[in-house]
């Protein structure tokens, strides 16, 4: 990843005289980590919802609703709606 950050830095920063490379590297890394963590959170939420779906798919006794409403609830829980 360090090589990719270096490549981004070299291709995007036109003036090196007033910009501190260490600070820019730190900002790029922090930005990357924020995006990575957000993606992991969304993935884990979808994974939990999918596993719940697998466990409860055949067991309509836990739900007092029809199949379409159950699917909508799972989509909402998974963050798809």
**Tens digits of residue pLDDT in 19-55:** 777 777 888 888 888 889 999 998 998 888 888 777 7
pLDDT of 62: 57
- Residue ranges making up the domain that contains 25: 2-77
Contact (Cβ atoms closer than 8 angstroms) between residue 43 and residue 76? no
pTM: 0.51
pLDDT of 5: 73
Instruction: Report the domain count for the chain.
Output: 1
Helix (H, G, I), strand (E, B), or coil: what is residue 44? helix
C-alpha distances out from residue 5 to 10, 15, 44, 52, Å? 9, 17, 27, 38
Residue 63, token pair as written in the block: 């739900």
Percent share of the chain, pLDDT over 90: 7
Contact (Cβ atoms closer than 8 angstroms) between residue 78 and residue 44? no
């Amino acid at each position: 990843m360090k090589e990719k950050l270096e490549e981004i830095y070299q291709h995007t920063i036109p003036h090196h005289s007033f910009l501190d490379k260490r600070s820019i590297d730190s900002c790029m890394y922090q930005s990357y980590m924020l995006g990575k963590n957000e993606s992991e959170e969304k993935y884990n939420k979808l994974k939990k919802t999918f596993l719940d779906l697998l466990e409860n798919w055949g067991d309509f006794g836990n739900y007092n609703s029809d199949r379409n409403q159950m699917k909508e609830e799972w989509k909402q829980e998974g963050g798809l709606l």
